[in-house]
Amino acid sequence: MPVVRLALAQMNAVVGGFADNVATITRFRAQAAGVGADLVVTPELSLTGYPPEDLLLKEGFVETAEEVLLDLVATGNLPPVVVGTVLSESSWAVRLAPSGDGRDVVVPTGVGTVGHLANALVVLDEAVVATAVKRLLPNYDVFDERRYFHPGVGPHTVINVAGAAIGLLICEDVWTAGGPAAELAAQGATLLVVSNASPYARGRPALREAMLAERARETGCAIAYVNLVGGQDELIFDGQSLVVDATGKVVARAGAFGEELMTVDVEVPPSSRGVPVPVRYARDEADARAALINHVTMPLDEIEEVYRALVMGTRDYLRKNGFRSVVLGLSGGVDSSLVATIAVDAVGARAVRGVALPSRYSSDHSVSDARELAARLDIDFTVTSIESAHQALEGVLGEVLGSPPAGLTDENLQSRIRGVILMAISNATGALVLTTGNKSEMATGFSTLYGDSAGGFAVIKDVPKTMVYRLCRYRNELARSLGDPEPIPVAVLDKPPSAELRPDQRDDQSLPPYEQLDPLLELYVEGDATAEQLIGAGHDRALVLRVTALVDRSEYKRRQSPPGVRISSKAFGRDRRMPITNAFRPESAGG
């Protein structure tokens, strides 16, 4: 049987960064030549970055993508490459003529009338060999591809590589039983190659593996699945590219959260049908013997996976947006301690500045714990009391309100003073302010607009409070295993959480205990359960109504929060789009 050597280019693409993406694809292609690969496969929309969103509607974007794609036509002895990109039907019908050696260009079929766009794959060698168009366009969760693309119809694309019939699919196309994957197998494909931009969420990698095993058994085909890696705004792409054989067994797995060229030899039975589009085969057997073939990287456990996602998401947001340093408020609490530690792991200690801004209500241990954390992380650290600013604004507000601010007004005043100082540091130095609020706080509105929510990036906005503690303990355990000092002081983890905006304040005076709160939030926010369903499942009625009311009336705050790393199946942001003005309440939950 033919043996095909695939090189799956698990790359970190930059949205709109055409020159960067061409350079990355070229680099991986050259590496693939060195290991004797027959075919290089890049992720979905690897040339444009994913998701390009409304850049697709900007004049010149699609035209630029089509121009730079031709820069990847092979010069020299490079293996053919499958490139993910966007195509307009009309321009490609005119722009690309049949190649000089008699191989016709396959223009996308069925993508609509002039001006319609396709999410596509283009096979490039010494000419454009073939194209394939995404058939199933996801329009749920973080996806809204029907806003931009039209689906392909008609016969699927099958190419001949080293005597193997390889069918081309894009992401969603492989997820449906009896769908495009089965159609390709019926068309004669004996190996399926899938280009993906599959965002990370907890549990998603295992779900992908199970799906691929099921699809391989259904089609009788081995499947090579290459995934994007890197951060793009809120989204994280974890990589973890896979190859499964026809029985569904994993025969190769790439690592998580890092670029990698995964090389795999796949034994492929001959096709029962003719495959008309050949791709040249010129493997250098001497080079091939040196390749690391069919390596299976062990999957990460959940908490390590989440931590690495947060680090990569923070690093890529800063790097891709041109920020060289960060600043954050260090309160001596668990949230800011975790964010500071992630920031150091993401961009290095020299690029992180911590600022403690104690008020008259701050405890001595809060400042000392923040100082100890900063020393362990070896970051720049300053302490500046906000008392003088607090007094000055109390006087101004006393005149405006008729009496000095008290209660919640005074608590929020302290938080906003801190926000002003941090944003001023940002303006003066160019450092991006990292906010430190977690998902439990964001869900319930336990934050101050223009105060602790003020900043440019919310590192742990999708991390529940109980998981914050797990991540801190994981990071300390990792340090111990490496023989390094634990970054997060034990005192930070042992004391009860408090905003310290009034005397003897604790979080559990305003919120249910996090051990009770977080499971309810997961069911209500991520699981879309109603209050009625939660009560019916046995949860305390008063607690359910209290929590769901907090979530519902805090939407306006979340709408004004900075972006942050998405690690769950439903984060606050692009995949949970609730209206701010919303009068709907299930009757049974309001009685």
Report the alpha-carbon distance of residue 305 to residue 138 in Å, rounded: 25
**How many whole angstroms from its chain centre is CA 105?**
34
Dihedral in degrees, nearest 10, Cα atoms 138, 139, 142, 148: 90
164: DSSP letter: E
Task: Please list the residues that pair with 105 across neighbouring strands.
Answer: none
For 128, 219, 516, the CA distances from 133, given in Å and listed in that order, are: 15, 20, 47
The two three-digit tokens of residue 337, written as one number: 């301690």
Query: What DSSP string runs through 484-526?
Result: PPPSS-HHHHHSPP---SSTT--GGGTS--HHHHHHHHIIIII
Residue whose C-alpha is closest to residue 449's, from 551, 547, 560: 560
- Measured CA to CA, the distance from residue 142 to residue 232 in angstroms comes to 12
**Within a 13 Å sphere around the CA of 590, how many CA atoms are in the beta-carbon half?**
6
Residue 409: how many CA atoms within 13 Å on its side-chain side?
10
Give the length of the chain. Answer: 591
Express the helix, strand and coil content of the chain in percent, nearest 5 each.
40, 20, 40
Q: Which residues form the catalytic set?
A: 44, 134, 171
Residue 301: other Cβ atoms inside 10 A: 9
Tokens of 410: 């005074």
Residue 281: CB partners within 8 Å, gap ≥ 6? 38, 161, 162, 163
* 359 Cβ contact partners less than 8 Å away, ≥ 6 residues apart: 385, 386, 387, 390, 414, 500, 501
DSSP sequence for 48-84: T-S--GGGGGSTTHHHHHHHHHGGGS--SS---EEEE
